[in-house]
Structure 1
Amino acid sequence: MKINKDSKLNMVKYPPIFLLILICVLSCDLDETQEVVTLDNLVWADEFDTDGAPNPEHWNFEIGDGTKQGIPGWGNNELQYYTDRPQNVKVENGVLLITARQESFEGNNYTSARLTTQNLFEQKYGRYEARIKVPYGKGYWPAFWLLGNDCDVNPWPACGEIDIMEYLGDEPTSVFSTIHGPQYSGAESISKEFSLENGRFDTDFHVYGMEWSPNRINFYVDDVLYHSLTPEDVDEETNGTGNWIFNDRAFYIILNVAVGGNLPGNPNSETVFPQSMVVDYVRVYN
């Protein structure tokens, strides 16, 4: 139920008992859509306050290109070769820079970087958030996302994937969030877009958040809730064939910038290189 903030309730027309009922209804609606209570116990963070390579106690590098099959994002016909070179990933002036470049490297025409917290930090449930500014141009595909920690033995999509923020570089006013699992992965995943009415995601930082509990996942942009999913939603979207797999394993964090591939399409003559995804911080609460 939605009430226009500018509307005024006439106290004569609507007696106090009606107002009490109305307040109860509104409160119930809000509680139902925001099942996860505000989480403020910080359990892990990287503020990127030391220049140089990313903290090795926090981040791994995944190295290679799209020939490595079986891992999400590596079978999408992408064009980049992920490296651990400072040209592609470094901490500088209080931010993490993941930079995509157009260059010949290991048989590929583009380079970039993909960082994960696999085996370093993995958690089930909680609030995950990052403050990020993204690049602009056809072919860029930066993301902030989670992957189930058993993907090595329980291949995707059975291990599960939670995409907190994905962005296509030629659509600068929109981002989207997505979940993947058995019977709802790839093109059949469950996704929703968030668009800015004024502004662009490549010209300023925005905070992308996700709150995850046993039976609900909420997605936020700048603390605005725009996507809320439950086991019932998965059941409805898959006609009863999909399973809610987000309550039986921990997940780890991934930050990357892909170039080209099936989803974003390949860069064109107007795409400017190099450009970076700029990450101010990543924080996790429970």
Structure 2
Amino acid sequence: MRFQQSLLAVSVPALAAAITPPNIPGMNIVFFDGFEGPPGASPNGGNWNIMDAINTNNEIQTYTTSNQNVQISGGGTIQFVPRKSPAGLWTSGRIETKGSWTPEPGKVTSIQGNILLGANPTDRKRGMWPAFWALGDAMRHGTEWPTCGEIDIMEQINGILTGYGTVHCGSPLGGPCNEPIGRPHTTPMAAEGFHTWAVTIDRTNEDWRAQSMTWQLDGNTYATMTGADIGDAPVWSSLAHSPLYIILNVAVGGNWPGNPDDSTLDGYGSMMEVAWVAVYSS
């Protein structure tokens, strides 16, 4: 279902002032969105598509273009807010970059986002699935998942204070990424505040086996995967040599977290709020 775009979140103050991505020595910012704009506005249409026709993973939400589900906060952030209707139907928000970025040979590329998750307690977030991730642009040109390649930069399920960084690749069953589970890495995460999540692809070595992909939380690396770990040159290329586009969303239910129950709360306490997204290249 779609909500009318009338009840703006003007009564809910923005949770942070505008924040810009940090300068990183030796790196240039090749894409950046700081989500400026008035309360209730849509994200920059030159940068983002607002998605409303996604049906995967047996999720139960409907993605909408309504500012009840995805809106600029007015304080330099964007908010993805899951909502439950009186009839028990869930809606939420998802956006995808219009552009894509290719990790270049001989360079280091990093995709980063500064993210806060809503303050509802863990036992009231059953079924919530916020995510910051990237898909191979080949998906937009007829290549099926997971052959297109997927890099999950931050996922959380059911409000549990564990962040997931995962790759999906190769064949739909088994293969180098052990599908459909993928190759996950985890890190403890804080319940409060904005935190910077990143994946960094290092192609400075000409040997694809020695190239690496690392996951960082607030600048600290918590997982590393190399081409040798994947062990398949074309599959590694789908992840680390091919164009990627960026996705931000809050899913509700699905195969992984399971569905919400009567204790699950909707609204701002279960949202994902993003202060900025940036792509860096050396």
TM-score range, shorter chain: 0.7 to 0.9
Matched, 1:130 2:113: yes
Aligned to 2:35: 48
Alpha-carbon deviations, 1:137-177, whole Å to 9, x = none? Answer: 11100000000111131111111000000111331x21010
Would you say the 8 A contact 2:201–2:240 is kept in 1?
Answer: no
Aligned to 1:109: 89
Aligned to 2:80: 98
Aligned to 1:160: 149
User: 1:180: how far off?
Assistant: 0.6
In the alignment, the residues of structure 2 paired with residue 41 and residue 242 of structure 1 have an alpha-carbon distance, to the nearest angstrom, of 28
Q: Which amino acid aligns with 1:128?
A: I
Q: Which amino acid aligns with 1:208?
A: W
In the alignment, the residues of structure 2 paired with residue 147 and residue 222 of structure 1 have an alpha-carbon distance, to the nearest angstrom, of 22
Q: Which runs of 5+ in 1 are unaligned?
A: 1-36, 67-73
Alpha-carbon deviations, 1:45-68, whole Å to 9, x = none? Answer: 1111212110001100221352xx
Q: How many residues align?
A: 229
Q: Which amino acid aligns with 2:184?
A: S
In the alignment, the residues of structure 2 paired with residue 250 and residue 193 of structure 1 have an alpha-carbon distance, to the nearest angstrom, of 25
Q: With structure 1 as the length reference, what TM-score do the two structures score?
A: 0.75
Matched, 1:269 2:249: no
Q: Give the % identical residues.
A: 31
User: 1:241: how far off?
Assistant: 10
Question: Which consecutive aligned stretches of 4+ in structure 1 deviate over 4 angstroms post-superposition?
Answer: none
In the alignment, the residues of structure 1 paired with residue 48 and residue 138 of structure 2 have an alpha-carbon distance, to the nearest angstrom, of 18
Aligned to 2:21: none
Q: Secondary structure at the match of 2:138?
A: coil
User: 1:209: how far off?
Assistant: 0.9
In the alignment, the residues of structure 1 paired with residue 226 and residue 256 of structure 2 have an alpha-carbon distance, to the nearest angstrom, of 26
Q: Secondary structure at the match of 2:263?
A: coil
User: 1:181: how far off?
Assistant: 0.3
Would you say the 8 A contact 1:39–1:127 is kept in 2?
Answer: no
Instruction: Compare CA radii of gyration and give the structure with the larger one.
Output: 1
